[in-house]
Amino acid sequence: MAINLSVNLNKVALLRNSRGGQNPSPRAAAHTCIDAGVAGLTLHWRADNRHTREGDVRDLRAICRERGVEFNLEGDDRDELIALALELDVTQFTLVPVRPGEITSDHGWDLPRDHARLAPILARINDRGIRSAIFMDATPANMEAAARAGTRRVEIYTEPYAAAWSTPEREIEVARLRDTARACVAAGMQVNAGHDLNLANTPRIARDIPEIVEVSIGHALLADALYIGLREAVRRYVQACRGEEVEAPVTQ
């Protein structure tokens, strides 16, 4: 069974913001990704607006609704983000912890410690019929606590797996992802995954961890698109999500 690919377009917005103006356009990139066969699009709107802005969220939500694909909005638990998720009736809202000054997300929620912080938000999201998800480290023992908080899905943080890909620790990390995914399903939730996934390491989890139903990939896919074009990059990542070994562009 293939994993659904949701492409994170934050880096398109980041490149646009570095120069000003409207080029490159997240809207144009969104249509290209959908034409190439993605199941959905993702944006992570940070409070500092360093890449995605509120207007991008509104634009891409409208495009996804028009084109019939899912829209996943990611971010922390600040009020304006939650309000926007509810207003736009996004397909999925993924709560991700944010540490001031971080370059990118580098850890999951700490449950059960964060239960009181997350549970009321998850209840509001669920009550509106929006699929809820939370970003969690690959720790099997914490999946029951995630279920008690009320989330429908867990997005497993895959950076440790990606970092171990070319090391003797790879099989340990594969097993940790697999055990976490199984614990998630056993607790009554579905499984997403994301962070530092690429053409080399995605096929392995697609073949070996069938519990994963969705991956969110942004940085690696957009980096590959610089060499081979966005449409071709998306096409290859869709193949990788089916467990197929795919040639990666030469970057050195």
Q: Kindly name the residue from 51, 70, 74, 214 that is annotated as catalytic.
A: 74
> In the annotation, is 195 catalytic?
yes
Is residue 44 flagged as an active site residue? yes
Please report how many Cα atoms fall inside a 13 Å half-sphere around the Cα of residue 68, on the Cβ side: 2
Distance separating alpha carbons of residues 59 and 27, to the nearest angstrom: 7
Euclidean distance between CA atoms 250 and 226, whole angstroms: 11
Active-site hit among 159, 173, 195, 214: 195
d(CA 221, CA 229): 10
Residue (of 171, 212, 170) closest to 189 by Cα position = 212
Q: What backbone phi and psi angles, to 5 degrees, belong to 215? A: -125, 145
Given 44, 70, 155, 173, the catalytic residue: 44
Gap between the terminal Cα atoms of the chain: 33
User: What gap in Å lies between CA 231 and CA 17, rounded to an integer?
Assistant: 22
Known catalytic residue at 51: no
Question: Annotated catalytic sites, by residue?
Answer: 44, 74, 195
